Structure formats: C-alpha cells, structure tokens
Amino acid sequence: MIEELRKKLKTLALLDAVIEQEWQYRYFSYNSHWSDSEEMGSLRDGCGGEWFLWISGDLAGYKCLSPEDGLMPDLKEAIERVPSAYENFITEPAFSMNQATCIWFLKNSKWVKYGRSVKSLIDLEAISTWMPNDYCVWAAEHYEREIDLGATVKIFKGEFSEEIAQILNPKIVMSELLAELSEIGVS
C-alpha cells in the first residue's frame, strides 16, 4: 500500500511540477528527502485546504485540514491514540497539528481513521484510485488548459523525458524542473 501511494504522489507531484513551474501555485508536491528516513507528500488547494502524507519505512500518517468539512472536535484525544512510533508525524511543525479535519495512520496495512469525512477536498483515498484521465480532467479545470492524455499516461507509467515535459508544457524551463526531480524522487 505504501509503495503504491508513494508512486502515485510522486507522479502527481511531477505532473504538477511540469505543468506549473511556480511551486506556490501547485496542488501536489512530494519530498522524497524530508529527512534521512522520512518522505512527505502533500496537497494544498490555495484556499486553506491541505493534507500531508508522512512516510517512514513501513509507517504512514495522514493529516487533512478541510475548512469546509470542519474541524475534528476531539483532535487532542485522537493524537493521544496514535502509536508512539508516529511521534515524528504527530510533532512535525509543518503539519500544523493544532487543527485537523481528520488524522489517519496505518496499522497492519489498514488505515485507522479519526475525525470527519472529507468531501470538499480531494482526499488520499480518492487520489489512490486516480488514473491518467482523472488527473487530466482535474488539471484541465484547475490549471485552465488542456492536458495531453498521452503524455500523462507515460508519466503514470514511470516514463519521463524532456520531450514529454514539453508536450505537457511548451513553456517549461527544463533547468528549473531538473533541479526539482531529485526532491520529488524521479530519476
């Protein structure tokens, strides 16, 4: 499960990095070098909605804040129930653990979920089922331009080249993109 999520989030981060060169305007990002033993995928909608997926070995924690869906009434209680192995996830300042709509963690390859359902933001479960066409439909609306399905399919398959990047974004500055590939974890 973790490997599939890692691959999917890296793919989405790569697609967003190609289509939108300005990091602050991207929806998806991924840092495969969050620390020596941790990785982090995230989504930010630009309107206060965000989530983070923290991965460390066989551990994964997910924190979502969707203002439209409301806040967890029992956040402190939920945080206390998260196993101590998730201490780095729970105490990470970047994840803003003072507010959450939901917090999940993996236990025996299944998500243990606390909090509210998320309906106003693309959540982790929805992302995990996305195929190239789902991304293209979403990105065309979000970035207000057509997204080439053939190039998107190639990236979903793990293929990447300057030619594919230029199909997705003819204005791409490859030197800027190449500098980001290591952080995303794309070779």
Instruction: Give the separation between CA 26 and CA 86, rounded to whole angstroms.
Output: 27
**pLDDT for residue 62 is more than 90:** yes
What 8-state DSSP symbol labels residue 68? Answer: G
Instruction: Give the separation between CA 168 and CA 153, rounded to whole angstroms.
Output: 11
Q: CB of 100 within 8 A of CB of 75? A: yes
Map out the domains of the chain as residue ranges.
Answer: 2-184
Instruction: Give the separation between CA 163 and CA 150, rounded to whole angstroms.
Output: 12
**pLDDT for residue 98 is more than 90:** no
Average pLDDT over residues 68-89: 92
Q: What digits encode the pLDDT tens for the residues 153-167? A: 999 999 999 999 999
Q: 16-55 burial, b if ≥16 CB within 10 A, otherwise e?
A: bbbbbbeeeebbbbbbbebeeebbbbbbbbeeebbbbbbb
Of 184, 186, 187, 172, give the one whose Cα is nearest residue 22. Answer: 172
